Amino acid sequence: MSRTEPRIIRAVWELQQWSERMRCAGKRIALVPTMGSLHLGHLSLLRMAQHHADRTIVSIFVNPTQFGPNEDFDSYPRDLEADLEQVRKVGADVAFPPAPDRRCPAGAATWVTGDPLTQGLCGRSRPGHFRGVATVVARLFQAARPHVAIFGEKDYQQLAVIRRMARDLLFDTEIVGAPTVREPDGLAMSSRNRYLSDDARLQARALNIALHEARQHVRAGERDVRFIAEATRRRIAKEPLAELDYVEICDPETLAPLDRIGRRAILAVAASFEGARLIDNTLLEADG
Ligand code: AMP
């Protein structure tokens, strides 16, 4: 497994040339798209990328088009040196913190929307978010020409939208989902966890606890979605700092809401703690 010092490429044309050379040499390329502020969750994706390919690219780009007007685009943590330090721990062949694209300085006129997968869950409270994500990932795919791209299951809806986009638009890129990496107390790692005060950090554990309790209900034979969703809501709302956005139970592929737990379902939650919006999810399996 390589621990190469990443080569820093900033121009799309240069990344395309590098990728073309690697492809001609018969190398398999993996891409890990990130917004930086890298933590162990991101590094696990990078490790999985090494497992799936001969060459790895990590992109680092705080994508403005996926933030709403009142969201944290300006305050989102950015520290390229610290990110490269993280990347070095695992190794990558290329780090791609793209320079502003001179070919379309005013931004893109063409969008990948991903409807109807983007209608519920985070799409409801973050209109335009997945359009921004899918479009930038499509551009990253054109820049990096990866054989495989790794996305975290923590952002479950994002993974579903990207899988569907790759299939619908005939991208020659395999999409691989990676399990959520958690803090020792169960909180899903997130770049936004650093916004949390000590109190909020403690209370945010309720997200994972509520998901765990939901799995226990299913294990005990409960199949009623309303019952499980309500119990999950109540558990999260018990925390005084929690502002619940949604608790939804949906089909793992289509993300359509379910009435009853069939064989498999996704329970997804989102809540803000003192303004820091956190998400998490779990698979509910009726047969185990
Ligand atoms: P972000 O930088 O937040 O856009 O995330 C970049 C990628 O890392 C996405 O595919 C996320 O789903 C993934 N990711 C973020 N947090 C985690 C985590 N705790 N465990 C696994 N993957 C994660």
- Write the DSSP string, 69-98: TTSSTTTS---HHHHHHHHHHH--SEEE-P
User: Is 9 near ligand 1, meaning CB less than 6 Å away?
Assistant: no
> Residue 115 has what pLDDT?
86
Q: What are the phi and psi torsion angles at 241 (to 5°)? A: -90, -5
Q: What is the pLDDT of residues 159-218, one digit of tens each?
A: 999 999 999 999 999 999 999 999 999 999 999 999 999 999 999 999 999 999 999 999
pLDDT band at 121 (very low <50, low <70, confident <90, very high): very high
Mean pLDDT of the chain: 95
Q: How far apart are CA 158 and CA 166, in angstroms?
A: 12
Question: Ligand 1 atom closest to Cα of 155?
Answer: 12
Known catalytic residues? Answer: 42
Count CB neighbours of 115 within 10 A.
10
Closest CA to 161 of 138, 190, 192: 138
Q: What is the pLDDT of residues 188-202, one digit of tens each?
A: 999 999 999 999 999
Does residue 1 register a pLDDT over 50?
A: no
**Two tokens, residue 128:** 């335009």
By alpha-carbon position, which residue is closest to atom 14 of ligand 1?
152
- Rounded to an integer, the average pLDDT of 39-46 is 98
- Rounded to an integer, the average pLDDT of 87-105 is 87
pLDDT band at 102 (very low <50, low <70, confident <90, very high): low
Q: How far apart are CA 180 and CA 85, in angstroms?
A: 22
Mutation test residue for ligand 1: of 62, 140, 154, 162, the one with most atoms within 8 Å of CB: 154
By alpha-carbon position, which residue is closest to atom 7 of ligand 1?
34
Kindly calculate the radius of gyration of the chain based on its CA atoms and give it in whole angstroms. Answer: 19
The continuous run of DSSP H or E covering 213 comes out as helix 205-219
Q: DSSP secondary structure string, 132-194?
A: HHHHHHHHHHHHH--SEEEEETTSHHHHHHHHHHHHHTT-S-EEEEEPPPB-TTSPBP-GGGG
By alpha-carbon position, which residue is closest to atom 13 of ligand 1?
152
Q: How far apart are CA 268 and CA 246, in angstroms?
A: 8
- How far apart are the CA of 155 and the centre of ligand 1, in A? 7
